Structure 1
Amino acid sequence: MINWDCVVMVIECWRNIGMNKIKVVGLGPGHKDYILPKGMEAINNSNIVIGAKRNLQAMNLQGKESYEITGNLDGAIDFIKNKYIDNRVAVIVSGDTGFYSLLTFLKKHFTAEELEVIPGISSMQYMFARLGESWENAYLGSLHGRDNSFAEGVREHKKVCLLTDKKWTPFMIAQRLIEEGVKDRVMYIGENLSYENERITRVDINKIDRDTVYDICVVVIVYE
């Protein structure tokens, strides 16, 4: 008697063996020196690379097809679905794949068997390393395109790291903390991390100037 459950499992295994997986690759903090070799190998071996404009421009994609991800994420999903069966597709994301990246959205549309996730060095890891600090007990959060109650995290932790955007500048973060009664903290502001024009500035949160312009950055807030 044929065990059809086993037959189906065997067919699925063979199908997965021959299937092109979608490589989701973390690019690290920015500079190519910080892309893991496994991630670079996946990008080099792909013939289609998908990512944000800035990330695509940072890579040498000569001879490869590229697709720029904009606000239309559903369009990117449709493109990947139409391409990945017959092509080697790499989706590149900033930092690490596991922290506020496109991976969460991709998992809503593709199975675990269809994805191969290759981590990267997060900008937070890099920032703490540049400060010579550990980060195992730090509060981590992102204000990039979102709000969160980071003041509570700062109040309860000696180390906090936040991803920022054009709205949540270091000054605005400092102002929110002061409004919430958190005043005895120092902020380290990391700009252009890993690039030649990298700059890390230390400032008391009570002394951050409203008019000082920072590039989109990572901030670490500590109690010293």
Structure 2
Amino acid sequence: MDHTLIVAGIGPGGRDYILPKALEAIEKAHYLVGGRRALHDYAKEGQETYPVTGKLSLLSDWLTEKLALGDVVVMVSGDPGFYSLLPWLKKKFPEHPVKVIPGISSVQAAFCLISEPWQGARWLSFHGRVPETKDTAYEKGRKLAFLTDYEHNPAYIAGYLIKQGWPKNTRAAACEHISYENQQVEESTLEKLASLEGFGESVMVVIG
């Protein structure tokens, strides 16, 4: 029988935000994959673990070896359905069944932090990519949410949107380290966020 890849969403990261079903799978895992912080927070003694880095070829080799022996749980931040390793895993290991356990997306959590509903919002990513111009074009009443990185941080994105015609006084917020003790939320306007320092790996919300 082919062993299963279990992809478990751990939410923004804090233990209060992880679903019990995901936590159960993680605790029962013999082979466990995740980011270094996730492994620090959730791995238990006796588990064989592998930290996710940028070297996916090495991760692929490790997964191939362990899937020959048993099921593997892969922890991903947020929800597996939104810019996670899930598409890569499905493409790389088509012969193995995949079980997906949802998690609370950091985008959902960011909207909650600013007390704003997210229905109708367009979820995009500047994390290692740049969205198509049509997806970020200004429309009155439009809501956008972005994952950011250190190059395309909220200051970069705010300037990018202003150049696209978004009003400088558009409401915007940047949320960093969501659910952790060092969580930060900066809620202001595009003009002011264009000068915001840091917030590399964060969530930015824009409300037109």
TM-score by length of structure 1 reads 0.84
In the aligned structure 2, how far is the partner of 1:150 from the partner of 1:73? Answer: 29
1:87 maps to 2:70: yes
Determine the structure 2 residue equivalent to 1:4: none
CA deviation string 1:20-63 (max 9, x = no partner): 31111111011011111111111111111112223222223322
1:159 maps to 2:143: yes
Runs ≥4 residues deviating over 3 A: none
1:107 maps to 2:66: no
In the aligned structure 2, how far is the partner of 1:112 from the partner of 1:67? Answer: 21
Task: State which of 29, 46, 63 in structure 2 corresponds to 1:63.
Answer: 46
1:198 maps to 2:201: no
In the aligned structure 1, how far is the partner of 2:43 from the partner of 2:69? Answer: 22
In the aligned structure 2, how far is the partner of 1:100 from the partner of 1:62? Answer: 30
Change (3 A) 1:211 1:199: closer
SS of the residue corresponding to residue 199 of structure 2 reads coil
Structure 1 portions without partners, runs of 5+? 1-14
SS of the residue corresponding to residue 185 of structure 2 reads strand
Query: Pairwise mapping of residues 147-186 of structure 1 onto structure 2 (< 5 A)?
Result: 147-149=130-132, 152-156=135-139, 158-183=142-167, 184-186=169-171
Cα offset for 1:152? Answer: 4.2
In the aligned structure 2, how far is the partner of 1:74 from the partner of 1:29? Answer: 26
In the aligned structure 1, how far is the partner of 2:193 from the partner of 2:158? Answer: 7
Task: Give the letter for the 2:153 counterpart.
Answer: T
CA deviation string 1:147-194 (max 9, x = no partner): 113674351352111000001111111111111121241111111111
SS of the residue corresponding to residue 112 of structure 2 reads helix
Provide the alpha-carbon RMSD of the alignment.
Answer: 1.9
1:136 maps to 2:119: yes
In the aligned structure 2, how far is the partner of 1:82 from the partner of 1:207? Answer: 50
- Larger helix share, 1 or 2: 1
SS of the residue corresponding to residue 98 of structure 1 reads coil
Task: State which of 108, 121, 124 in structure 2 corresponds to 1:125.
Answer: 108
Change (3 A) 1:152 1:44: closer
In the aligned structure 1, how far is the partner of 2:117 from the partner of 2:43? Answer: 34
Query: Pairwise mapping of residues 16-95 of structure 1 onto structure 2 (< 5 A)?
Result: 19-95=2-78
Larger deviation: 115-124 or 131-140? 131-140
Change (3 A) 1:140 1:150: farther
Change (3 A) 1:90 1:144: same
Cα offset for 1:136? Answer: 1.8
Determine the structure 2 residue equivalent to 1:208: 193
SS of the residue corresponding to residue 162 of structure 1 reads strand
Count of residues paired in the alignment: 206
Structure 2 portions without partners, runs of 5+? none
Larger Rg: 1
Task: Give the letter for the 1:35 counterpart.
Answer: I
